[in-house]
Amino acid sequence: MTTATTNRIDSTFSALRSQGKAAFVAYVCAGDPDMARSLEILRALEQAGVDIIELGVPFSDPMADGIVNQMAAHRALEAGASLPGVLGLVRNFRRESELPIVLFTYLNPVYAYGFEAFHHEAAAAGADGVLLLDLPPDESARNAELHELPDLRHIRLIAPTTPADRVPMLARASEGFIYYVSREGVTGAQTDLAEGIADNVAAIKRHTDVPVAVGFGISTPAQAAEVARAADGVVVGSAIVRRVQEHASDPDVARVVGDFVKPLVDAVKSV
Residues annotated as part of the active site:
54, 65
Segments of 121-193 assigned E as strands: 129-132, 153-154, 156-158, 178-181
- The neighbour count for residue 141, using CB atoms within 10 Å, is 12
Segments of 150-206 assigned E as strands: 153-154, 156-158, 178-181
d(CA 102, CA 35): 17
Task: Give whole-number Cα distances, 138 to 148, 173, 265, in Å.
Answer: 11, 9, 35
d(CA 163, CA 207): 14
d(CA 269, CA 271): 5
Helices (runs of H) and strands (runs of E) counted in the chain = 12, 9
Asked whether the beta carbons of 219 and 238 are under 8 A apart, the reply is yes
d(CA 11, CA 8): 5
